[in-house]
Amino acid sequence: MKACVWKGPHDVRIEEVPEPSLINDTDAIMKVQTAAICGTDLHAYHGQVPGFESGIVMGHEFMGTVKQVGSKVSTIHAGDRVIASDITACGSCWYCRQGLHWNCASRSLFGYGPAFGESLAGGQAEYVRIPHADTVLIPVPSDLADDRVLFLGDILSTGFLCALNGGVKPGDVVAVIGSGPVGVLTQMSARVQGAAKVFAIDRLPDRLAMAEKFGSVPINFEEQDPKTVVDAATQGRGADVALEAVGGKEPLDSALRVVRPHGTVSIVGVHLEDNYPFSAIDGFVRELTVRFGVGDPMRLASQILPLIENEVIHPDKIITHRLGLDDVPEGYRLFNDRKAFKVLVNVS
């Protein structure tokens, strides 16, 4: 079968690789219909993921049709149309029973080497093996187009969780740090959850334009001080909730700076720094709540799918490029060079 394979930094290629087969009796094999390139994939593309080896099949945003299931798969059947969660989980341990799938000991991230568990081939391919299929695969209605539901498997669930963890409620003023794909879907999610005003904080004009298109108030932090702008709109209080969707020290600094006393900072940006200079006295005096979270499609699908079905949220509107599987290497170059906002891959 054809697949997008990582060969080294900035070198991904379409190659023929063996078609996957069932290994465990809880596995399924999916025929991939549609996939996407995620910002997280760029870390691997740059060679920044520990243990990432030449030959790994890329991709953790994908959906398609079930081709085959193992003997112990009971709720998913051959022929089902499904989205794959970006991570795997066993479905039966204590954490899974609480809906905390990221903390499952069997967790892996598709197409990401051994960084977050067992190395699994990804979904930028014609076929993919799905461990723990009953838990990891999410059936979707036949009348919903792939581009409307695909992002449930990763970035939409991430953005939605960010707003949930922030406790966004009707009337809130929300500041979102970052206006990439996750940031914009976080902004959409905040509005769905009741935010009266959403500020989008970034420095890239095209990303701020995308955010503004969906109703956010853009702040280019290279031209304006975000705290000054947010304070002016809130009688000096600051944002009720700050949602950090980038990762790294500076975005978290910004979130902590713009949030009001007794406000909440919710973080889904990927943080790799060992030491962050958090001021405990500032957090104490301002009575801040700070929460980290990782998107969980398996837990959130039942909340998000109805919003898509009822056209309350439109994740497909962020797609700027649609490519075939053979053109995925070019898609990576476009995405890496910020010439594409979100790339959809039509596999079959």
At 348, the pLDDT band (50, 70, 90 cuts) reads confident
pTM of the shown model: 0.95
Angle between helix 226-233 and helix 249-258 axes, rounded to 10 deg = 30
Residues 206 and 278 reside in one and the same domain: yes
Q: How many CB atoms lie within 10 A of CB 6?
A: 26
Residues 245 and 230 reside in one and the same domain: yes
Domain boundary among 292, 310, 325: 292
Residues 90 and 102 reside in one and the same domain: yes
- CATH number of the CATH domain containing 205: 3.40.50.720
Which pLDDT value is given to residue 272?
Answer: 77
- CATH number of the CATH domain containing 14: 3.90.180.10
Which pLDDT value is given to residue 243?
Answer: 99
Which pLDDT value is given to residue 50?
Answer: 86
Which pLDDT value is given to residue 288?
Answer: 98
What does the radius of gyration of the chain's CA atoms come to, in whole angstroms? 20
Residues 339 and 270 reside in one and the same domain: no
The number of domains in the chain is 2
Residues 279 and 183 reside in one and the same domain: yes
Q: pLDDT per residue over 241-267, tens digit each?
A: 999 999 999 999 999 999 999 999 999
- The mean of the pLDDT values for the chain is 96
Residues 112 and 63 reside in one and the same domain: yes
d(CA 127, CA 129) in angstroms, rounded, equals 7
Q: pLDDT per residue over 63-84, tens digit each?
A: 999 999 999 999 999 999 999 9
Domain boundary among 265, 292, 319: 292
Residues 200 and 232 reside in one and the same domain: yes
Residues 31 and 68 reside in one and the same domain: yes
State which residues form the domain around 260.
156-292
Which pLDDT value is given to residue 274?
Answer: 82
State whether residue 288 is helix, strand or coil: coil
Q: Average pLDDT, stretch 195-222?
A: 97
Residues 128 and 179 reside in one and the same domain: no
Instruction: Look at residue 3 and tell me whether its pLDDT is greater than 80.
Output: yes
Domain boundary among 257, 276, 292: 292
Instruction: Look at residue 216 and tell me whether its pLDDT is greater than 80.
Output: yes
pLDDT, greater one: 275 or 341: 341
CB contact set of 345 (below 8 Å; sequence gap of 6+):
34, 35, 36, 37, 59, 124, 322, 323, 324, 325, 328, 331
